[in-house]
Amino acid sequence: DQRLYCPYYDKGTQDYLFVEESYDYTVGGQTKSAWYTEVRDTGARCVEPYFASAAQDWFVDFGIPFHYGSGPKKGEVRGTITMSFLASGFGNLVHGLSLGKTGYGIITSNGGTFLAHPIHEYIGTTRLEEVREEVQPELAEALEALARGETGSVSFHDPEQDAQALFFHDRIPSSGWGIGLMFFKDDLLDDHRALDHRYIRLALVLSLVFVCLLANYYNKDFLDRTEIRNLSILSSVLLLANIWLVGYFEHAAKRPLAEGESAPIVDLGATQRFIARHHARAEELKTEKLRPVPTGLYLDRMEFMDSYNLNIGGRAWQKVPLDIADEIEIGFTFPQMSPFSEASYIEETSRETIAAKEGEEGFLLVGWDFRVTLLLNANYADYPLDKRHIDIELAPLDRGDHLLLVPDLESYSYTNPSKKSGLNPRIVISGNEIVESYFNFSVETYDTDFGFGNKGLFEEVPLLHYNINLRRTLFNDFVTYLIPIIVSLLMMFILIYACGKTQERQGIIESMAAFFFVLVFSHIDLRKAVVTSDLMYIETYYFVTYLMVVLSTWNLITYSKDKSPIFDYNDNQLFKAAYFPLFLSLVLGVTLWRFY
């Protein structure tokens, strides 16, 4: 009885919208009515994504026409039945795939428009050809092939991630849409530790085989003094080389990501993927979605007070969307702020409204100066080969505002972690090299509702982190703590080499006691410099050297006075030849136990 009639049922809200109240959907030539006119004119099909003014979102529709079954209009199109898919639903589907911590997926329509993309603003508005100029040449060629409906893959180096990437593309047979999946090799291989372990095993096996072959060659008749000495020197060199190899791999390796910690956020796509996952969870649980607030950080000063307290100073800012600026408590807090800090402050210094521009929404720009002391959860068990990690957490002032602090990457010239964005280049931390800085997220779940009466507010709460990874410059630590060990070992070896048969034991004990106290005082200085309850890796060198002091004392006392077939052979040559190989074998064993 009426010309326009289009009830639209929203499954999410379980409510009806009447499209005819918004516009005349039978008029051709307009994108927003293609879901009806194209199906009416050409038959069942998927239409290009469009912005639905009634629902205020981007949609993709699949429609089929139905016809008059009788009467003068029999066989003519009477109307259409359409299933509407929210474009973000495709994104949630792709984000749900196992693509690694940094991988992502895209879906494109027949016309090349993005139906799913890690950058939400691209969905329904951007086409493949519009982004080809912004990506690497290899990826641009793959996107062209995707637009042509071809299947294939490409490998290339991604400068933003500083990693090798793999991009696979294909067509979805049922709809003809394109799908592309991006993987990063480091994600697929987990990390380089497995490969490093293969190199270490290979080096150990080759070293052992070489020493055995040489010993077998020397043993044609019998081992003389020169051959024993050569085997000792060669074994020591090989053991030292293996210790260096294990230490090099450990020192050069990147810090592994902790459980629940996201990969570095280096582009807008990574941020949007994280937001999309949490929005999808909110839709599933029927809870309020978190509202993103871009937040930036720039450090001017940074200094360690002690092993666990860090002083930082600089500037922070937030871009608060204008539609929520009057509804929320603007600001942030450092959850790690030390309770013993006496001079910490966070002071607002600026507040300016930035008007909306074409394609961009307006926002309230708020800036702060801060100087705080943070209490870090540091682990020194691997010192000095440990990955010193500075983790600065940022959280909203009021959890009840349902805010998600996200990195304001657009305000930085570089986002590659190796470019050290957010750090004043004049910052110097004595004894350390700044390797990288980056933002990322973690998800925290608390076992309390903090009095709000709703524990759901504090389950899987996303938290923004600004990370700084440091690598120690080993020269200072080696000079300070290894030289006393090396000198003591050399002096004990000289004493062993020079000592002959004698009845006097007092001089031996006094000399060994002197070496022992040198080591003890150096060990105490180490414990004073690095205050920790952990057994540090470098401490194992001291314990091995203490054992060498005991063994050397026992050897000299036994050899100098008593008759011993083993020690009397070639004037104690067997112990002399085994001295450094024994020490290095013990150190290598401890090193493999700790890092392998």
Q: Which residue has the higher pLDDT, 399 or 51?
A: 399
| The token pair that represents 594 in the structure block | 């700790």
Q: Which of 210-224, 468-482, 532-546 has the lowest mean pLDDT?
A: 210-224
First to last CA, the chain: 79
Q: Which of 88-102, 409-423, 541-555 has the lowest mean pLDDT?
A: 88-102
- CA 391, 394, 399, 404 dihedral sign is negative
Range with top average pLDDT, 52-61, 130-139, 211-220, 462-471: 462-471
Q: What's the pLDDT at 215?
A: 80
Per-residue pLDDT for 483 more than 80?
Answer: yes
Residue 219 contacts by C-beta under 8 Å, 6 or more apart in sequence? none
DSSP-derived letter for residue 399 is G
pLDDT band at 82 (very low <50, low <70, confident <90, very high): very high
Between CA 436 and CA 443, with CA 440 as vertex, the angle to 5 degrees is 145
Per-residue pLDDT for 533 more than 70?
Answer: yes
pLDDT band at 330 (very low <50, low <70, confident <90, very high): very high
Per-residue pLDDT for 503 more than 60?
Answer: no
Q: What's the pLDDT at 398?
A: 85
Q: Which of 20-29, 244-253, 339-348 has the lowest mean pLDDT?
A: 339-348
- CA 225, 227, 229, 232 dihedral sign is negative
pLDDT band at 362 (very low <50, low <70, confident <90, very high): confident
Per-residue pLDDT for 54 more than 60?
Answer: no
Q: What's the pLDDT at 56?
A: 58
* Mean pLDDT to the nearest integer, 146-174: 85
Residue 331 contacts by C-beta under 8 Å, 6 or more apart in sequence? 318, 346, 348, 366, 368, 396, 397
HSE-CB of 33 using CA atoms within 13 angstroms: 16
Contact 63, 48 (CB under 8 A): no
CA distance 44 to 68: 16
* Mean pLDDT to the nearest integer, 76-80: 92
CA nearest to 54, candidates 9, 14, 93, 95:
9
Q: What's the pLDDT at 456?
A: 64
Per-residue pLDDT for 4 more than 80?
Answer: yes
Q: What ranges make up the beta strands (E) of 243-334?
A: 291-304, 309-321, 332-333
- β-sheet with 291-304: strand ranges across: 345-354, 363-375, 309-321, 291-304, 403-407
DSSP-derived letter for residue 478 is I
Q: What's the pLDDT at 550?
A: 93
Q: What's the pLDDT at 201?
A: 92
Per-residue pLDDT for 52 more than 70?
Answer: no
Phi, psi for residue 559 in degrees, rounded to 5 = -70, -40
pLDDT band at 11 (very low <50, low <70, confident <90, very high): confident
Per-residue pLDDT for 549 more than 80?
Answer: yes
pLDDT band at 343 (very low <50, low <70, confident <90, very high): low
Q: What's the pLDDT at 92?
A: 63
Per-residue pLDDT for 497 more than 90?
Answer: no
User: Quick check: bond before 384 cis, omega within 30?
Assistant: yes
* Mean pLDDT to the nearest integer, 359-380: 88
Q: What's the pLDDT at 359?
A: 55
Q: What's the pLDDT at 188?
A: 67
Q: What's the pLDDT at 454?
A: 66
pLDDT band at 510 (very low <50, low <70, confident <90, very high): confident
Q: Which residue has the higher pLDDT, 230 or 56?
A: 230
Q: What's the pLDDT at 358?
A: 60
Residue 569 contacts by C-beta under 8 Å, 6 or more apart in sequence? none
Question: Residues 270-312: pLDDT tens digits?
Answer: 787 788 778 877 777 777 888 999 999 999 999 998 888 899 9
pLDDT band at 187 (very low <50, low <70, confident <90, very high): low
Q: What is the mean pLDDT of the chain?
A: 85
pLDDT band at 57 (very low <50, low <70, confident <90, very high): low
Question: Residues 96-149: pLDDT tens digits?
Answer: 565 655 677 888 888 888 888 777 677 777 888 888 877 888 888 998 899 888
pTM metric for this prediction: 0.70
CA distance 91 to 115: 7
Q: What's the pLDDT at 88?
A: 65
Q: What ranges make up the beta strands (E) of 172-227?
A: 178-184
Q: Percent of the chain, pLDDT > 90? A: 34
Per-residue pLDDT for 453 more than 60?
Answer: yes
